[in-house]
Structure 1
Protein backbone atom coordinates (compact mmCIF):
# COMPACT_ATOMS: atom_id res chain seq x y z
CA UNK A 1 0.00 0.00 0.00
CA UNK A 2 1.21 3.50 -0.84
CA UNK A 3 -0.17 6.61 0.85
CA UNK A 4 0.70 10.08 -0.44
CA UNK A 5 -0.49 13.46 0.76
CA UNK A 6 0.67 15.78 -2.01
CA UNK A 7 -1.94 16.78 -4.62
CA UNK A 8 -3.33 15.69 -7.99
CA UNK A 9 -0.19 16.86 -9.81
CA UNK A 10 2.60 15.79 -7.45
CA UNK A 11 1.20 12.41 -6.30
CA UNK A 12 1.54 10.87 -9.81
CA UNK A 13 4.94 12.54 -10.21
CA UNK A 14 6.20 10.94 -6.98
CA UNK A 15 4.77 7.55 -7.95
CA UNK A 16 6.37 7.68 -11.41
CA UNK A 17 9.73 8.68 -9.91
CA UNK A 18 9.42 5.62 -7.62
CA UNK A 19 9.20 3.36 -10.70
CA UNK A 20 5.60 2.39 -10.00
CA UNK A 21 3.66 1.72 -13.18
CA UNK A 22 -0.05 1.69 -13.93
CA UNK A 23 -1.86 2.62 -17.16
CA UNK A 24 -3.85 5.36 -15.39
CA UNK A 25 -0.94 6.78 -13.39
CA UNK A 26 -0.78 10.49 -14.25
CA UNK A 27 -4.01 10.40 -16.28
CA UNK A 28 -7.29 12.21 -15.55
CA UNK A 29 -5.67 14.66 -13.15
CA UNK A 30 -7.80 17.22 -11.36
CA UNK A 31 -8.08 19.20 -8.18
CA UNK A 32 -11.19 19.44 -6.05
CA UNK A 33 -13.64 21.99 -7.36
CA UNK A 34 -16.22 23.88 -5.38
CA UNK A 35 -19.17 25.45 -7.19
CA UNK A 36 -21.49 27.89 -5.43
CA UNK A 37 -25.00 28.46 -6.76
CA UNK A 38 -27.02 31.46 -5.62
CA UNK A 39 -30.76 30.90 -5.80
CA UNK A 40 -33.25 33.69 -5.14
CA UNK A 41 -36.03 32.15 -3.06
CA UNK A 42 -38.27 35.22 -3.02
CA UNK A 43 -41.27 34.54 -0.81
CA UNK A 44 -39.80 31.42 0.80
CA UNK A 45 -39.44 31.54 4.58
CA UNK A 46 -37.20 29.43 6.85
CA UNK A 47 -33.95 31.41 6.75
CA UNK A 48 -31.94 31.95 9.93
CA UNK A 49 -32.78 28.46 11.18
CA UNK A 50 -30.97 26.87 14.07
CA UNK A 51 -28.66 24.78 11.89
CA UNK A 52 -26.38 26.37 9.30
CA UNK A 53 -26.00 23.31 7.06
CA UNK A 54 -29.40 21.67 6.77
CA UNK A 55 -28.63 18.90 4.33
CA UNK A 56 -25.94 16.83 2.70
CA UNK A 57 -26.68 15.21 -0.63
CA UNK A 58 -24.66 12.00 -0.92
CA UNK A 59 -26.53 10.75 -3.99
CA UNK A 60 -23.51 11.36 -6.25
CA UNK A 61 -20.83 10.64 -3.63
CA UNK A 62 -20.36 6.92 -4.26
CA UNK A 63 -21.61 4.26 -6.61
CA UNK A 64 -20.73 2.46 -9.84
CA UNK A 65 -19.94 5.79 -11.56
CA UNK A 66 -16.85 6.15 -9.29
CA UNK A 67 -14.93 3.67 -11.46
CA UNK A 68 -14.78 6.32 -14.20
CA UNK A 69 -15.99 9.63 -12.74
CA UNK A 70 -15.51 11.85 -9.72
CA UNK A 71 -17.81 12.06 -6.72
CA UNK A 72 -19.98 14.98 -5.68
CA UNK A 73 -21.20 16.11 -2.26
CA UNK A 74 -24.05 18.64 -2.20
CA UNK A 75 -24.47 20.90 0.86
CA UNK A 76 -27.58 22.97 1.54
CA UNK A 77 -27.14 26.07 3.73
CA UNK A 78 -30.03 27.52 5.71
CA UNK A 79 -28.65 31.04 6.17
CA UNK A 80 -27.97 33.84 3.71
CA UNK A 81 -24.26 34.03 3.03
CA UNK A 82 -22.60 37.45 3.50
CA UNK A 83 -21.98 37.97 -0.22
CA UNK A 84 -25.65 37.51 -1.15
CA UNK A 85 -27.54 40.69 -1.87
CA UNK A 86 -30.56 41.60 0.21
CA UNK A 87 -33.47 43.11 -1.68
Structure 2
Protein backbone atom coordinates (compact mmCIF):
# COMPACT_ATOMS: atom_id res chain seq x y z
CA UNK A 1 0.00 0.00 0.00
CA UNK A 2 1.73 3.14 -1.17
CA UNK A 3 1.48 6.59 0.30
CA UNK A 4 1.62 9.80 -1.67
CA UNK A 5 3.94 11.50 0.76
CA UNK A 6 3.63 15.13 1.71
CA UNK A 7 2.21 16.24 -1.63
CA UNK A 8 -0.49 13.57 -1.47
CA UNK A 9 -1.45 14.72 2.01
CA UNK A 10 -1.67 18.36 0.89
CA UNK A 11 -3.80 17.42 -2.12
CA UNK A 12 -6.10 15.34 0.06
CA UNK A 13 -6.56 18.21 2.53
CA UNK A 14 -7.33 20.62 -0.30
CA UNK A 15 -9.89 18.23 -1.77
CA UNK A 16 -11.57 17.74 1.61
CA UNK A 17 -11.61 21.43 2.50
CA UNK A 18 -15.10 22.84 2.97
CA UNK A 19 -14.10 26.48 3.25
CA UNK A 20 -15.32 27.31 -0.24
CA UNK A 21 -18.64 25.54 0.29
CA UNK A 22 -19.83 27.10 3.55
CA UNK A 23 -21.39 30.49 3.99
CA UNK A 24 -20.35 33.11 6.49
CA UNK A 25 -22.48 34.13 9.44
CA UNK A 26 -25.51 36.25 8.70
CA UNK A 27 -24.53 39.90 8.79
CA UNK A 28 -20.80 39.23 8.56
CA UNK A 29 -18.68 40.83 5.89
CA UNK A 30 -15.01 40.33 5.13
CA UNK A 31 -14.32 43.98 5.98
CA UNK A 32 -15.92 43.62 9.45
CA UNK A 33 -12.92 42.24 11.34
CA UNK A 34 -13.97 43.52 14.76
CA UNK A 35 -17.24 41.71 15.42
CA UNK A 36 -16.90 38.65 13.14
CA UNK A 37 -20.67 38.40 12.83
CA UNK A 38 -21.47 38.47 16.55
CA UNK A 39 -24.08 41.09 17.24
CA UNK A 40 -23.22 42.96 20.43
CA UNK A 41 -26.08 44.37 22.46
CA UNK A 42 -25.45 47.08 25.05
CA UNK A 43 -25.81 45.94 28.66
CA UNK A 44 -26.36 48.21 31.64
CA UNK A 45 -23.73 48.56 34.36
CA UNK A 46 -26.18 47.15 36.94
CA UNK A 47 -26.50 43.87 35.06
CA UNK A 48 -22.72 43.67 34.57
CA UNK A 49 -22.20 44.27 38.29
CA UNK A 50 -24.69 41.50 39.14
CA UNK A 51 -22.92 39.11 36.80
CA UNK A 52 -19.50 39.98 38.26
CA UNK A 53 -20.78 39.51 41.81
CA UNK A 54 -22.35 36.15 40.92
CA UNK A 55 -19.13 34.90 39.31
CA UNK A 56 -17.05 36.09 42.29
CA UNK A 57 -19.39 34.30 44.70
CA UNK A 58 -19.17 31.07 42.67
CA UNK A 59 -15.37 31.35 42.60
CA UNK A 60 -15.24 31.85 46.39
CA UNK A 61 -17.42 28.78 46.96
CA UNK A 62 -15.28 26.70 44.59
CA UNK A 63 -12.08 27.86 46.31
CA UNK A 64 -13.48 26.98 49.75
CA UNK A 65 -14.48 23.51 48.52
CA UNK A 66 -11.02 22.89 47.05
CA UNK A 67 -9.30 24.03 50.25
CA UNK A 68 -11.60 21.81 52.33
CA UNK A 69 -10.89 18.73 50.20
CA UNK A 70 -7.12 19.34 50.29
CA UNK A 71 -7.18 19.88 54.06
CA UNK A 72 -9.21 16.72 54.66
CA UNK A 73 -6.85 14.83 52.35
CA UNK A 74 -3.77 16.04 54.22
CA UNK A 75 -5.30 15.22 57.61
CA UNK A 76 -6.36 11.76 56.41
CA UNK A 77 -2.92 11.06 54.95
CA UNK A 78 -1.19 12.20 58.15
CA UNK A 79 -3.56 10.07 60.26
CA UNK A 80 -2.90 6.99 58.10
CA UNK A 81 0.88 7.48 58.26
CA UNK A 82 0.96 7.75 62.05
Say whether the fold is shared (TM-score over 0.5): no
Looking at both structures, which has the greater relative contact order when contacts are Cα pairs under 8 Å and sequence separation is at least 6?
A: 1
Which bracket does the TM-score occupy, shorter chain normalised? under 0.3
Higher helix share: 2
TM-score normalised per structure 1: 0.20
TM-score normalised per structure 2: 0.21
